[in-house]
Amino acid sequence: MSAEISFIGDQITFIFHALSRHPLWQDKLRAELVTLDLPSSFTDTLSPATINNILSVSLLDATIKETLRLYPSVAASLHRVVPHGGRVIDSYFIPGGATVGATAMMLHFDEAVSSVGGRYDVTAWLPERWLDDAADRGEMGRRLWAFGSGERGCIGKQ
C-alpha cells in the first residue's frame, strides 16, 4: 500500500473518530453536505462544478483542518542543519552546523494562535475555531504544518 493511501485512510479514521465523539457537529456537517448535488454511486464521476461545491463547504473545510491540526501526518521532528555563520531564531543565536528540529504539534498547539484569544482549548478537537470571526485564520493556516514545508514538504498538499 502506498504511503498516500495509508495517510488518507488514517486521516479519514481520525475524522470519523472525532465526529463520532461530537454528534452535534456531525449533524451540522451532514446538514450542509446534503445540500450538495453529490453522486449517488461510487461509479459516478464528479464534475468540476460538484468538486467546487464540495470545496466550498465551510464546515467540511473546518473539520479537515482541525483534524489535521490535532492529528498531523508527520508527528516526528523535522531536522535541519543551521547554515554556516549561524542564525537567530526567535531572538536566540543558533551556531552554524547545529541540528535543530521542529514538529507540527509544536505549531498546532501554540496557544497564541490556536486558542483564538483563549476561547478554545488547543488540545481539544474543535473545528469551530476555524470559523470563528475572532480567529486569525490566515495565521492558523500558515501554522497548519500537517504536510511539512519546503523541500521536504508533501508534494500533494496543494
**What integer best gives the mean pLDDT of the chain?**
86
Share of the chain above pLDDT 90, in %: 45
What cell numbers appear for 45 in the block?
A: 464521476
Secondary structure letter of residue 41 according to DSSP: S
Q: Which of 26-30, 69-73, 145-149 holds the top average pLDDT? A: 26-30
Length of the chain as a residue count: 158
Do residues 111 and 86 make contact, with C-beta atoms less than 8 angstroms apart? no
Q: pLDDT tens digits, residue range 64-116? A: 999 999 988 766 677 889 999 999 988 999 999 999 887 888 888 999 989 99
DSSP H helical ranges for 97-136:
104-108, 111-114
CA distances from residue 56 to 21, 41, 51, 60, 157 in whole angstroms, order as listed: 24, 21, 9, 8, 18
Q: Which are the contacts of 13, defined by CB distance < 8 A and separation ≥ 6? A: none
CATH T-level assignment (fold) for domain 3-39+46-152: Cytochrome p450 (1.10.630)
Q: Where are the domains of the chain?
A: 3-39+46-152
Q: Is residue 144 over pLDDT 90?
A: no
**pLDDT band at 1, cuts 50/70/90?**
very low
* Residue 153 pLDDT class (50, 70, 90 cuts): low
Q: Count the neighbouring beta carbons within 10 Å of the beta carbon of residue 91.
A: 5
- In the predicted structure, residue 9 carries a pLDDT above the cut 60: yes
Residues 45-64: tens digit of each pLDDT: 888 888 888 888 899 999 99
Task: Report the distance separating Cα 128 and Cα 132, nearest Å.
Answer: 6
The band of 40, judged by pLDDT with boundaries at 50, 70 and 90, is confident
* Nearest-angstrom CA–CA distance, 126 and 136: 15
Q: What is the mean pLDDT of residues 147-155?
A: 68
